[in-house]
């Protein structure tokens, strides 16, 4: 199993550009999430999904869109990049095991917006 | 969602036991307590999760008092490779009230030789 994969690893954008961060998992997990981590900070939840076709907002959803058309994939779209979106983005997935919840994280995408 | 408070940093020496305490005064009945470890330039990694009393695995122990308003992660005999940031999370697992866990700023543990 590859676990949780993210592409690209690094990305530089100009203000106003749009792009999609890819996330895929091969563990058949129902739940997937996107977090951002700014320097010296913890992770903040952007959006999450509890299954294909179901998404919801987290703590910092503004400026980001998500969709979940398959169990495996959960892309994060930046609509119009801003310097404030410079961050490291982590995708995570987990399975529902009746209360036990271990999230598996991807390696992250380091995004710089100029 | 329950907020957590942990020390910003801790220092230790190799071979010592490290205890990191997390406060979560407004923990809800359905909430679980979960700890993650994060190395620089990597995603967090699950360490341990519990609901009450004591949980132990091959890596750590988690102590939760009866009132569940705090918890303590115990790392036995730390090594240099345990230098990392440790996050305490409190929340309902997916399928619960909101389905997500909140990361705070974590505790930066530095292990010295």
B21-74 residue pLDDT tens:
999 998 888 888 999 999 988 999 999 999 999 999 999 999 999 999 999 999
Question: Is a pLDDT exceeding 60 seen at residue B95?
Answer: no
Report CB contact under 8 Å: A45, B102: yes
Whose structure tokens read 């930046």?
Answer: A78
Looking at every residue in chain B, the average pLDDT score rounds to 89
**Omega within 30 of 0 (cis) for the link into A8:** yes
Give the pLDDT of residue B2: 62
Q: How confident is the model at residue B98 (pLDDT cuts 50, 70, 90)?
A: very low
Q: Nearest CA of chain B to the CA of A81: how many Å?
A: 22
Q: Assess contact for A85 and A113: CB atoms under 8 A.
A: yes
Alpha carbon distance A45, A89 (integer Å):
10
Return the number of other C-beta atoms located less than 10 Å from residue A95's C-beta.
16
Q: How confident is the model at residue B96 (pLDDT cuts 50, 70, 90)?
A: very low
Give the pLDDT of residue B101: 67
Question: Is a pLDDT exceeding 80 seen at residue B97?
Answer: no
CB-closest option in A43, A48, A96 to B103: A43
Question: Is a pLDDT exceeding 90 seen at residue A4?
Answer: yes
Using an 8 Å CB-CB cutoff, list chain A residues near B102: 45, 59
Q: How confident is the model at residue B100 (pLDDT cuts 50, 70, 90)?
A: low
Using the Cβ of A92 and the Cβ atoms of chain B, whether some distance falls under 8 Å is answered with: yes
Alpha carbon distance B71, B26 (integer Å):
13
Using an 8 Å CB-CB cutoff, list chain A residues near B41: 108
Give the pLDDT of residue A100: 65
Using the Cβ of A19 and the Cβ atoms of chain B, whether some distance falls under 8 Å is answered with: no
* pLDDT digit string, tens, across residues A43-94: 888 999 988 999 999 889 999 999 999 999 999 999 999 999 999 999 999 8
- pLDDT more than 70, % of chain B: 89
Q: Assess contact for B85 and B38: CB atoms under 8 A.
A: yes
Report CB contact under 8 Å: A108, B44: no
How does strand B18-23 pair with strand B70-75?
Answer: antiparallel
Q: Assess contact for A105 and B39: CB atoms under 8 A.
A: no
Return the number of other C-beta atoms located less than 10 Å from residue B29's C-beta.
8
CB-closest option in A42, A94, A108 to B104: A42
* pLDDT digit string, tens, across residues A7-24: 999 999 999 999 999 999
Q: How far is CA A67 from the centre of its chain?
A: 11
Give the pLDDT of residue A40: 78
CB-closest option in B32, B46, B102 to A103: B46
Alpha carbon distance A114, A46 (integer Å):
21
Give the pLDDT of residue B23: 95
Give the pLDDT of residue B60: 97
């Amino acid at each position: 199993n590859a676990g949780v994969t993210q592409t690209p690893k690094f990305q530089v954008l100009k203000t106003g550009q749009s792009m999609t961060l890819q996330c895929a998992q091969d563990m058949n997990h129902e739940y997937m999430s996107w977090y951002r981590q700014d320097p010296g900070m913890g992770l903040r939840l952007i959006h999450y999904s509890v299954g294909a076709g179901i998404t919801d907002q987290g703590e910092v959803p503004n400026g980001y869109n998500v969709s979940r058309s398959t169990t495996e994939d959960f892309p994060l779209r930046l609509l119009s990049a801003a310097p404030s979106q410079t961050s490291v983005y982590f995708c995570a997935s987990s399975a529902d095991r009746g209360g036990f919840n271990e999230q598996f994280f991807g390696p992250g995408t380091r995004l710089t917006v100029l | 969602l329950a907020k957590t408070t942990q020390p910003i940093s801790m220092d230790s020496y190799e071979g010592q036991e490290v205890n990191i305490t997390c406060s979560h005064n407004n923990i809800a009945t359905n909430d679980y307590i979960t700890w993650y470890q994060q190395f620089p330039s990597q995603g967090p990694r699950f360490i341990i999760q519990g609901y009450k009393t004591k949980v132990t695995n091959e890596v750590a122990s988690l102590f939760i008092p009866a009132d569940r308003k705090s918890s303590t992660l115990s790392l036995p005999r730390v090594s240099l490779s345990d230098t990392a940031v440790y996050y305490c999370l409190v929340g309902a697992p997916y399928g619960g009230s909101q389905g997500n866990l909140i990361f705070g700023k974590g505790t930066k543990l530095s292990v010295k030789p």
